[in-house]
Structure 1
Amino acid sequence: MPEWHTTRLRATDDAALWASLRAAGLVRDVVNALGVTVTVAANDSVRIDPIPVVTRETGETTTDADGNTVPVTEPVPGAHCNVYSLEPLSDAVLAVLPVVNPEPTTPVRIAA
């Protein structure tokens, strides 16, 4: 089983995120059999995993319907995505990507 390297990205919005992925050569647009243009990974050694919503704890708590105390969360601004690659991304590729730094301590998704 191959080991996938994870690079976590966060851009100001979806357009900026996808523009950076295109500039890095990690995705490309193709026209499918229905004539619709879709964006796909540039090759089989890369997987793109857009994350719809990332949240963080606010430091406050609330009580859920079952009476449990749970943390209050809020959305983290921006567009989020994980890039999984069979080889570490080159410095040139990383230079055009909005890499999350420092790495999150509790990532939303972890490659198995």
Structure 2
Amino acid sequence: MLIKDVMNEDFLTFLLNDIAGEVIQKLYKSKKSYAAVVEDGKIVGWITSLDLLTGCKHVKIEEAMLFLDEIKILSPNDELTDELILKMIENEVFAYPVVGENDKIIGTLSVFDILKILKY
């Protein structure tokens, strides 16, 4: 099964200069715990609610986010393998960004997306 068959295309994005407190509120209202950080439509980082909670709510998310070299980036044509699922479990990672051409985020793959396919 390919990532594009499982990924969620209903995701949030934020800008580098967005304020962490506002981002936390938007994540909460959307019932999300992660989001991509973009600049000119291209992904530049990844933020989780835990990253934001450990920092000050008045900082820009650029100061709290994980940079691309710190996270795994998935392609829509990657295989959803047992190895990938095990890495998510071992590293307690909730989600990864799915990035298409020109570094544009096109979806996310979360543990909840995987659970949905396993349930049905």
Query: Which TM-score tier does this pair reach, normalised by the shorter chain?
Result: under 0.3
Larger radius of gyration: 1
Question: Given the two structures, how large is their TM-score scaled by the length of structure 2?
Answer: 0.26
Greater fraction of residues in helix: 2
Greater fraction of residues in strand: 1
Ranked by relative contact order (alpha carbons within 8 Å, sequence separation 6 or more), the top structure is: 1
